[in-house]
Chains A and B, each alone.
Chain A
Amino acid sequence: DAGVIQSPRHEVTEMGQEVTLRCKPISGHNSLFWYRQTMMRGLELLIYFNNNVPIDDSGMPEDRFSAKMPNASFSTLKIQPSEPRDSAVYFCASTIGGGLTDTQYFGPGTRLTVL
């Protein structure tokens, strides 16, 4: 079975541009998580969905960030407009259950560079 799939793997954009990151969770998994990883702040939980519904978005840094999960097999994280400080690796993870106690399966990540 395929793991969590993320695209693109690398994204380089200029400040002010819109960026969309995509994630396909493992089939059958009910929860999806978006993380951001930087050297300074480590691994931060941005938002998570359970059964396609956003449960906790308190980690979303500001209104420039938005996330959607239109169906069980697809989610997007959008940054508009992007800023250099958004440069990071963004991970998507999914779990089979609906709680925060379940094993998280991470995707390969998207390395975002904002110039």
Chain B
Amino acid sequence: GQQVMQIPQYQHVQEGEDFTTYCNSSTTLSNIQWYKQRPGGHPVFLIQLVKSGEVKKQKRLTFQFGEAKKNSSLHITATQTTDVGTYFCAGPGANFGNEKLTFGTGTRLTIIP
């Protein structure tokens, strides 16, 4: 079945440093979604990318969808303590019979003040 892996699993950064998490799918995705889960909370939708090579920005967050639609990245510039949490990518497969939405393994970000 479809697998979605994220690296790194954990990331500790000093406040103000940049952070990047990478998402890789074993199959082509029809779209990629990113969610953030604060400690003790629930996943909250951040953004969706649909087109091959698409790049979207939300303030300090930059999201990219790979040309082959099998990978994606989330980059945070100048992290703040409010960025703490686990970031998940998720995507439905693009092929018939593989449309199940699969969440990535997540990257847990902690900030050192």
Contacts and interface: CB of A to CB of B under 8 A. Distances in A.
Nearest to A3: B42
Contacts of A44: 103
Interface residues of A, number: 21
Contacts of A93: 43
Contacts, number: 48
B100 A56 contact: yes
Contacts of A20: none
A71 to B, nearest CB: 23
A25 interface: no
A26 B90 CA distance: 21
Interface stretch (A11-19, A60-68, A76-84, A102-110): A102-110
Given A42-B106, A43-B88, A106 B100 contact: no
8 contacts: A43-B43, A100-B92, A100-B99, A100-B100, A101-B92, A103-B45, A103-B48, A105-B45
Interface of A: 33, 35, 42-45, 56, 58-59, 91, 93, 99-101, 103-109
Given A43-B88, A103-B45, 10 more contacts: A42-B106, A45-B100, A59-B100, A91-B43, A93-B43, A101-B50, A103-B33, A104-B35, A104-B43, A106-B44
